[in-house]
Amino acid sequence: MTDHEQINPPSILFDGTKHLRCPYVVGNVIELRLKTSSDGQTIDARIIKIFEPFTWSCVMVVRPVCPSTAWGGDMVLKLFDRRFAMRFRKSEEISPWSLDIEQNYHQFILNGDAAKLVTELTADRDLPAQNFHVWNSSQEETYLHEFMPGLYETETQVYNTLADLQGSHIPQLFSCVTMPLSTPVQNNPLAEYIDIPGILLQYIEGFPLTDNATCAPRDSWQSICEDAIRIVNLVGDRGILNEDVKTRSFVVQKCPENQFQVFMVDFALCNFRKEYANEIEWEKCKARQDEEGAVGFVMQKKLQGGFVYHRSALYTELDEKYKMDS
């Protein structure tokens, strides 16, 4: 970075109104703290591409300003930022984030009220449903703060569980990161509540499975879709249930000689086998979720004869055991 190149602090970008402008724009440079063996190392990364709309997380392609890491090139940065988790805020009927909301939230933290609410949320999972209609914005932000790290922890746990599939069926996980929004003061009480967790992943340049018809020749559609379904079942075989399998959850990379490689992404909304009481409960949830069908049936309809979905033996058995009885 040159002497004249400025890093834009994500917490001070605004559009002239009470609503702050999202800092995740192409060309902006952000600071990331790596959670590696040399804990505390930071890099400055320039945003190259944005994947919109933002849903549960903010996803973008970044490039280190001064490549000093082992990776060097473009990477995917996924930040679990409560401020711009648009789909989550909308689903919970929480107002768009603003400067006033953030300032009030910071005071709520400094008063010790955020810590108290987090303790209550931990003790009573039904608390949000019971009180959401009377909560103020600071209580809502605390709830979001408490929820977002769970998505981050789930996603990292999935990547760690699937370590042997990284680089071949799912992207490689390079590092967990934090984007600091708090000032670098020792024991800063705000840090725990406003710094943003995230992950740096291998950037797979390709097209989403949903664009198969326009980006790949027709004679490759069957094999591409079958590869996507095979990855779904590989992940499931490791004791993972993905509640958010969509055709957009796959990136198709074009390889030499008109070949294609499929990668699965997005694992924040997963559950693990160990969380279920017994095999019957686990199988019922697998049958109801139907991760395989979420790809197979959708792509069969979309490609109109260009792909024929063959139900796997596993899901055929689950259908017979549970769906016919429901």
Summarised one tens digit per residue, pLDDT across range 16-66 is 444 457 889 999 999 999 986 555 688 899 999 999 889 889 999 999 998
Per the CB < 8 A criterion, the answer to whether 200 and 60 are in contact is: no
Instruction: Assess whether pLDDT exceeds 90 at residue 4.
Output: no
Overall number of domains in the chain: 2
Q: CB neighbours of 275 closer than 8 A, spacing ≥ 6?
A: none
- The residues with which 13 forms a beta bridge, in sequence order, are none
277 with 143, same domain? no
Handedness of CA 63, 195, 70, 260 (dihedral sign): negative
Give the residue, 320 or 37, on which the prediction is more confident. 320
The predicted pLDDT at position 40 comes to: 67
Q: Which domain holds residue 8?
A: 1-203
196 with 150, same domain? yes
140-161 pLDDT, tens per residue?
999 999 999 999 999 999 999 9
The predicted pLDDT at position 263 comes to: 99
The predicted pLDDT at position 21 comes to: 72
Name the band, by pLDDT with cuts 50, 70 and 90, for residue 211.
Answer: very high
264 with 319, same domain? yes
167 with 293, same domain? no
193 with 229, same domain? no
CATH number, domain containing residue 196: 3.30.200.20
Mean pLDDT of 73-102: 93
143 with 247, same domain? no
Domain end point (choices 179, 203, 227): 203
26 with 140, same domain? yes
Instruction: Assess whether pLDDT exceeds 70 at residue 276.
Output: yes
Mean pLDDT of 261-272: 97
187 with 238, same domain? no
149-195 pLDDT, tens per residue?
999 999 999 999 999 999 999 999 999 999 998 776 645 788 889 99
CATH number, domain containing residue 274: 1.10.510.10
The predicted pLDDT at position 70 comes to: 66
Domain end point (choices 155, 172, 203): 203
Burial of 19 (0-12, 13-18, 19+ CB in 10 A): middle
